[in-house]
Amino acid sequence: MKRDEKKLIQGLSSGNRVSLSRLISIIESDPSAILRIFQSIKKVPNNVYTIGITGPPGAGKSTLTSQIIKKFREDGLTIGVIAVDPSSPFTGGAVLGDRIRMQEHTLDNSVFIRSLGSRGDFGGMSNSASGIVKLFDVFGMDIVIIETVGVGQTELDIIKIADCVVVTLVPEAGDGIQAMKAGLMEIGDIFVVNKSDRGGAEKLAREIDYMASLKKQISQRKTKVLIAQAENNIGIDEIIDEIKSFRKFEESNNSLSTKRSERKISEIDSLLNRKLKQELERIKDTDKVKKAIKELRDEKLEPDKVVELILNLLKKNK
């Protein structure tokens, strides 16, 4: 653990926004730092409630997120926002489009907005997102909102992080069948048909409601489909009420704590992958492996022999 990181962790626990910002930057630039940082944090409170906002590009996710922030702030809650933006093809950094659209909240010290580059990750999620949620938790945020890049066949990782997933759709984004193909029906806790002033909103809402009724229900709670116009602040109160109702329901029957426990178990794979990747990169930088790779280029060795060498070195270093 680096000395300046220890100071930043102390600042994080005391509510210092600069410390929070710098620790997020460290985790984003070096995902392996997640292990190092959280080994120094005695306990993550696990008090923060995480809401995922996902859906196809152009569904109005950022506008909806901004309106949700406003409503939660009226309740006096503190909010962290992770806006996962498309990455710049040149720098790998976030394009910052979402932070621009949420600029009305930037002067509010009870709201912390951070744009992250997806860096080409599947799931429209940054690798660092789960670690940043924990930082927000230690910082003392009440709510964390994660807005993803978009959604598609493999882009469903939000369910691995969020306590409540709000799927946002618009009529022209495709019919309910397309939503089902994309896997949205399986991950959505609440569905919002946004931009309802456009034609086809009621029809799409009925289709989604019907398909939601067919999916296997773990609980007895009916999945709600709501209609909204986020840009005009229409339907936002109903969305907030539904999020609160969903949270209350899952807390009352212990399913929220069960869900979080299962996520911790699944996080083992992610942490192992990070640790193994870090160790493998170190081994690949050794003279033995560099020599083997040179022989591979000279066609004196096959790739499987190099892999075998790396694995043997990994075993010796265990």
Confidence of residue 47 (pLDDT cuts 50, 70, 90): very high
> Where are the chain's structural domains?
1-42, 44-253, 266-316
Amino acid 195: pLDDT: 92
pLDDT in tens, 255-265: 999 999 988 88
Pairing of strands 111-117, 79-85: parallel
pLDDT in tens, 73-130: 999 999 999 988 764 333 344 445 555 567 778 889 999 999 887 654 544 455 688 8
Contact 170, 198 (CB under 8 A): yes
Helix extents (H) in the chain: 3-13, 17-29, 33-40, 61-74, 97-101, 129-139, 176-181, 184-187, 201-214, 236-252, 255-284, 287-297, 303-316
CA distances from 163 to 32, 254, 262 (A): 25, 13, 12
Amino acid 153: pLDDT: 40
Confidence of residue 173 (pLDDT cuts 50, 70, 90): low
**Helix/strand/coil for 244:** helix
pLDDT in tens, 174-207: 555 565 555 777 888 999 999 999 888 898 898 8
Contact 52, 165 (CB under 8 A): yes
Overall size of the chain counted in residues:
318
Q: Identify the CATH class of 44-253.
A: alpha beta
Amino acid 104: pLDDT: 79
Residue 303: count of CB within 10 angstroms of its CB: 10
SS3 content of the chain, % helix, strand, coil (to 5): 55, 15, 30
Q: Which long-range contacts (CB under 8 A, 24 or more apart) does 18-22 make?
A: 20/112, 20/135, 20/136, 20/139, 21/112, 21/114
Averaged pLDDT score across all residues of the chain: 83
Q: Which of 24-33, 86-95, 214-223, 269-278 has the lowest mean pLDDT?
A: 86-95
Q: Which of 33-42, 169-178, 247-256, 269-278 has the lowest mean pLDDT?
A: 169-178
Q: Which residue has the higher pLDDT, 34 or 164?
A: 164
Confidence of residue 2 (pLDDT cuts 50, 70, 90): low
Contact 186, 216 (CB under 8 A): no
Pairing of strands 79-85, 49-54: unpaired
Confidence of residue 15 (pLDDT cuts 50, 70, 90): very high
Q: Which residue has the higher pLDDT, 56 or 313?
A: 313
